[in-house]
Every structure is written in structure tokens, then in C-alpha cells.
Amino acid sequence: MIISMKPHSSPEEIQAVCRRIEDFGYKIHTIEGVERVVIAAIGVGDTSQCLESLEALPQVEKAMRISAPYKFVSREYKNARTRIKVRDFEIGGDEFIMMAGPCSVESEQQIMTSAEAVAKAGARMLRGGAFKPRTSPYDFQGMELEGLKLLRKAGDAMGLGVITEVMSDRDVEMVAQYTDILQIGARNMQNFALLKGLGKAGRPVLLKRGLSSTVKELLMSAEYIVAHGNRDVMLCERGIRTFETITRNTCDIVAVPALQELTHLPVILDPSHATGKRSLVPALCRAGVAIGADGIIVEAHPCPEKAVSDGAQSLTLEQFDKMMRDLGPYLELWRGARVAQELVSA
């Protein structure tokens, strides 16, 4: 169950509601918003009686049954799409958001050149890793703080938002100072200390699906972040590990609409890590637009053959520009479909 308190309820009123819920045998978890407190009641008990009893309390605005184990991120809790504001645009609204840039920030020139090209081609966000989760400890690990500064500088110079990965809960505050969106990598999807640490980060989060994680596990990880106080979460399908070896991962494309059925959070597709091959990236981008993703995060590099990470899947900046132009008609259809959906659900 989720119980919304009336705006500006007093601590005593909240306490009284919590006690009533506990009397019915449920555990409680409260989230304090700017205006109101919402309480999640977790466990098994006589839900119908409890709901009836809570609704009779004057300080309770709404009490509802949520059957999914992920409560706050479920469509049952909130039907309207979550729109996440970044700079002067929104993710999850009427604009398809393109995020692009190199896998890693490598130098000032590399990130500046990338930022200029992706901005000109129509991207809204610049991506670039400063802390890199590499399979081998001997591979490039990222420029860390210097990389964050360069990414911010390049984004600001071109009017782009920036997105970068944070790998440890100890770094959340520091990375948040430089970025508009915190990316949680596939390998950290179930790093629960990190997920909890994002609750108070004050920045939206892009949560990538783990290499061997189910859609439900992804939603449970998103629930951690929301339950710890941060509602601005978007999900990312980036391919999962299967027996197939022709691509780096297998893109579970249907996870995009499946997630949108189950959650109100925006869903972003990553065609670069999903395929591992630049030749396949444009086709998967088209699929992402056609299937109704809220945006795409794609790797593009001024000189992929010299990239320190993920060169094989990075588009050249020229290829990115061409792909954006080719996506034009698809994006038109996307906008029409999105506006129609909003009208139906209004």
C-alpha cells in the first residue's frame, strides 16, 4: 500500500498514521517530499480493512493498494509519465532526447570536438565517462576529476546537459557537482550502497540494466533510489548477456515497452553497448525510436580507431550526424504518437 498524507501534515499526524499501519502488521517506509509525506506499507495483512481504516483518518489524502513489489516506480502508483527536467528540456515528455559522446573522456580536444559535433547534429546531452568500470584492472580507468571538469566545460560551451557514470557511493557528491545526470553502469545496478547513496544526490539518475538482470530486478533497483528520496530516475536497456556472440550483448528491445507498461519512469535505449558494433547502431536507434523509447544514449568519437575504450561500437562524428538526419522522419512519427498518447491519457 501507499499512503499519501495531506500537504503539510504535522509530525504528530504522520506518526499517528504510521502507528495505525503498524497495528495492522505492516512495516513502514516514509519518503519526505517538498509538500507531502508518502508512506509505503510493506508486508502482508488485511489490506482492505487497513485501507478503509486509513482513509477514515482526516490527515490521509489517499491510500491505495499496490500489488507490484516495486511500489513507487509502478504504474499502479502513478499512471502519468515522470518527466525529468534537465536544463531547458524534459526527459519523458514530448521530446525524444538524444544523448551522445565518447565512451570515455580522453582529452580536452577530444571532448570539445565531440560536444560541438553532437550539439550541431541535435543531441541534448553529452555523455563521457570519467570513472570507467573496466573488466581488466590494466585497462584505462578514466580521467576521474579532471575528466569531470572537461566534460562540464564542453557541455557548457555547447549548451548541452552532461551525463557521466558514478561508480562508488563515496563519489556521489563529488560527481554530482559536475554533472546533470548520474549514470549507474550495468555492473553496478545492484550495488545497493550506491543506490541508497543516490537518494539524496540532488541529480537525476540513469540506471542501466545489469548484464544478467531481469526487468523486475531493474525496477527493484530503481525502487531503491526512489525509496531513498530521489524520484528522478530513468531506466536504460543496454543489452543483456545471452548465448549469442555475434553482438557484444543481446538487445532486449521489447524491454522498452514492457518497462513502459510497468513503470512511469522514462526508458532510454543504449544501442552501442547493446550491439558492440558501430555498423548495427543506426538500425537499433531506428528501432528504439519506433518502439517508443524516451531517448537514446549512443557512443560517438572523433576518431574511434584511437579511442581508449569501446572504439568498435563508437560512431564517427560524421556517422552520428548522418544518423541523426536519417532519423528525422522516424522522430516526426515518434512525436505524433507521443502527443496522441498524452491526449488519450489526459
Find the shortest distance in angstroms from Cβ 21 to Mn ion: 44
> Binding string to Mn ion for residues 225 to 254, with x set by CB under 5 A, is what?
------------------------------
Distance (Å, whole) CA 210 – CA 214: 8
Q: What are phi and psi of 281, to 5 degrees?
A: -65, -45
Taking the complex as a whole, how short is the minimal distance between the CB of residue 212 and ligand PEP, in angstroms? 12
Q: Binding string to Mn ion for residues 79 to 108, with x set by CB under 5 A, is what?
A: ------------------------x-----
6 binds, among Mn ion, ligand PEP, none (CB under 5 to 8 A by kind): none
Q: How would DSSP label each residue in 246-279?
A: SSSSB--TTHHHHHHHHBSS-EEE-HHHHHS-GG
C-beta closer to Mn ion: residue 223 or 310? 310
Alpha carbons 273 and 130: distance in angstroms, whole number: 17
Kindly tell me which of 124 and 273 has the beta carbon lying closer to ligand PEP.
273
Smallest gap from Cβ 132 to ligand PEP, in A, equals: 7
208 binding partner (options ligand PEP, Mn ion, none; Cβ < 5 to 8 Å by kind): ligand PEP
- Rounded least distance, CB 273 to ligand PEP, Å: 4
CB of 303 to Mn ion, least distance (A): 16
CB of 110 to ligand PEP, least distance (A): 15
Q: Write the CB contacts of 235 (distance below 8 Å, at least 6 apart in sequence).
A: 206, 207, 209, 218, 219, 222, 259, 263, 265, 266, 267, 268
| 199 vs 288, beta carbon nearer Mn ion | 288
Q: What angle do CA 68, 53, 29 make, to 5 degrees?
A: 45
Q: Which residues in 106-136 are b (16+ Cβ under 10 Å) and which e?
A: beeebbbbbbbbbbebbbbbbbbbbbbeeee
Q: Is 324 helix (H, G, I), strand (E, B) or coil?
A: helix
CA distances from 182 to 162, 230, 263, 310 (A): 9, 12, 20, 20
Positions in 301-340 near Mn ion (CB under 5 A) = 310
For Mn ion, the closer of residues 81 and 208 by Cβ is 208
131 DSSP assignment: S
Query: Cβ of residue 129: shortest distance to ligand PEP, in angstroms?
Result: 5
Q: Which lies closer to ligand PEP via its Cβ, residue 33 or residue 133?
A: 133
| Nearest residue (CB) to ligand PEP, 142 versus 199 | 142
Residues interacting with ligand PEP, by CB under 6 A?
103, 129, 133, 185-187, 208, 238, 273
Comparison of 98 and 226: residue with beta carbon closer to Mn ion: 98
Find the helix packing angle between 215-227 and 255-262, rounded to 10°: 40
Are 37 and 30 in contact, with CB atoms under 8 Å apart? yes
Residues near Mn ion (CB under 5 A) are 103, 310
